[in-house]
């Protein structure tokens, strides 16, 4: 890295950042950046789901998500012992039923005229925590494995910074995550509790801050850690209610909010062990409109039945609309806890990753939760440089092709279940003229 040139450049940037309010204004599209939101949403197509969802995995006791047929009245629902709670996107209803009778009530609703019924699945953050450990460098894995110093010489994400959403437990105050976060005025970023305050009060408090800090901690500010992207404009969308866990309903609203805000990159470091059709359709719409969605593949504290280590890729990482990310250690070996399978696309460092901690300090954490934002950050660096040079945003297909085709192949030759296409390589992504900048 050209240290002297960077020092002069960053000294000037530091003065600009110091003059900014804690909540920066929305990204400005200068003359050399593409202008415009995500592709037009247009009229939302109705959900085509039919029948009964799977009553497997974990879900909210006493709740169902119902897609009524036209003409199915609230009186008919109540006649089946079902109490409507709220209307969600795409015509879904969240309803209450007696606990323990979820599947029986779902079948009764289908007989009464519902088009589709499923549980309100529960999601959990994907973290394998380690003891707190403060450190000031991350070079061994961010540069030694991912090649970020060479990539930063090409782009730090500040030229045309894409709006990045972190759908997670929310955010906590930290000295090293101030100028990077973007809290748009008048927007309810807490979709789980329905308010504008995305402060993390979840059972897994601190997970959202840790993920966001890996992706975009305030960088070159004389404090703590570096983020993968220095561009800022990270929107924390809280999909976990105070003291609770995320659900199909909250994730649906979180992705929908990200779409409405014009988010270009979304990181989802959470998962469930069941396929979720309504959420998958929402992810499909988001990708079709131009959003790159990166998701953690999943963690297993003990091997899943039938696996010597790890387990199958969780949802939403298993969705065709996402980039599924597993974890490797600093020797490029798959972490024993990391999910594996044909859905896996890439791997990134996920063992002993430095994160911002709720205490205001720093810690070392392990999990695919922290590998995923490294890949999301590399995607943002690529999109920023591409937009600066080409005056348009790359499509999600372009981003996925660029990242997977420039990855460092690990394990058996070619794509495999343990490493996907391989280790993400930021240095190749920012310089490749075959797949990334043809």
Cα separation values, 431 from 27, 82, 264, 385, 426, Å: 25, 57, 21, 10, 9
Cα separation of 163 and 327, whole Å? 25
CA distances from 301 to 86, 244, 306, 339 (A): 36, 21, 15, 11
3 is catalytic: no
Reduce the DSSP state of residue 228 to 3 states and report it.
coil
How far is Cα 109 from Cα 84, in angstroms, rounded to an integer?
Answer: 12
**Is-contact 218 227, C-beta < 8 A?**
yes
Please name which of 423, 323, 436 lies closest in space to residue 385, comparing C-alpha atoms: 436
Based on the residue annotation, tell me whether 155 is a catalytic residue of this protein.
no
> Per-residue b/e over 74-83, b at no fewer than 16 CB within 10 Å?
eeebeeeebe
d(CA 118, CA 120): 7
Of 174, 176, 207, 218, the catalytic one is 207
Q: Which residues pair with 120 in a beta bridge?
A: none
Active-site annotation holds for 369: yes
Contact 292, 377 (CB under 8 A): no
Q: If residue 118 lies in a helix (H) or strand (E), which one and from where to where?
A: strand 114-125
For 297-339, strand residue ranges (E) read 322-328
Q: Which two tokens stand for residue 307?
A: 């696996």
Query: 359 burial class (0-12, 13-18, 19+ CB within 10 angstroms)?
Result: exposed
DSSP states of 31-73 as a string? TTS----SSP--SPPPP---EE----S-EEEEEEEEEEPTT--
Can you give the C-alpha Rg of the chain in angstroms?
21
State the virtual CA torsion across 411, 417, 418, 420 in degrees, nearest 10: 80
Catalytic residue among 269, 338, 366, 369: 369
Q: Which residue is catalytic, options 168, 190, 280, 345? A: 168
Cα–Cα distance for residue pair 282/271, rounded to 1 Å: 15
- As annotated, the active-site residues are 168, 207, 369
């Amino acid at each position: 890295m050209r240290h002297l040139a960077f020092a002069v450049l960053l000294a000037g940037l530091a003065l600009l950042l110091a003059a900014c309010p804690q909540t920066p204004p929305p990204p400005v599209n200068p003359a050399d950046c593409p202008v415009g939101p995500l592709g037009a949403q247009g009229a939302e197509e109705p959900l085509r789901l039919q029948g009964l969802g799977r009553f497997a995995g974990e879900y909210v006791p006493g709740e169902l998500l119902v897609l009524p047929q036209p003409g199915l009245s609230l009186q008919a629902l109540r006649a089946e012992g079902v109490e409507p709670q709220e209307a969600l996107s795409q015509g879904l209803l969240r309803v209450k039923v007696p606990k323990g009778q979820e599947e029986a009530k779902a079948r009764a609703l289908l007989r009464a005229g519902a088009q589709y019924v499923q549980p309100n699945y529960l999601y959990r953050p994907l973290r394998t925590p380690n003891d707190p450990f403060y450190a000031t460098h991350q070079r061994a894995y961010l540069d030694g494995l991912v090649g970020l110093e060479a990539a930063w010489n090409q782009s730090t994400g500040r030229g045309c910074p894409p709006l990045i959403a972190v759908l997670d437990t929310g955010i906590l105050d930290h000295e090293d995550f101030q100028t990077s976060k973007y809290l748009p005025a008048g927007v309810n970023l807490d979709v789980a509790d329905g308010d504008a305050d995305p402060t993390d009060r979840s059972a897994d408090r601190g997970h959202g801050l840790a993920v966001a800090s890996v992706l975009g901690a305030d960088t070159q500010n004389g404090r703590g850690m570096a983020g993968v992207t220095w561009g800022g404009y990270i929107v924390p969308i809280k999909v976990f209610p105070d003291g609770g866990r995320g659900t199909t309903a909250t994730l649906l609203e979180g992705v929908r909010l990200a779409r409405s805000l014009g988010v270009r990159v979304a990181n989802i470091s959470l998962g469930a062990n069941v396929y979720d059709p309504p959420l998958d359709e929402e992810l499909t719409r988001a990708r079709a409109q131009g959003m790159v969605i990166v998701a953690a593949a999943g963690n297993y504290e003990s091997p899943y039945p039938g696996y010597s280590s790890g387990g199958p890729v969780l949802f939403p990482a298993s969705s065709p609309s996402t980039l599924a990310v597993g974890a490797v250690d600093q020797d490029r070996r798959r972490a024993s806890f990391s999910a594996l399978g044909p859905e896996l696309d890439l791997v990134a460092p996920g063992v002993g990753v430095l994160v911002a901690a709720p205490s205001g300090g720093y810690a070392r954490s392990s999990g695919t939760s922290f590998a995923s934002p490294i890949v999301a950050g590399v995607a943002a660096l690529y999109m920023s440089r591409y937009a600066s040079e080409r005056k348009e945003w790359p499509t999600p297909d372009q981003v996925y092709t660029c990242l997977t085709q420039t990855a460092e192949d690990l394990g058996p030759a070619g794509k495999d279940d343990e490493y996907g296409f391989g280790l993400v390589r930021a240095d190749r992504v920012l310089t490749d003229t075959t797949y990334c900048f043809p």
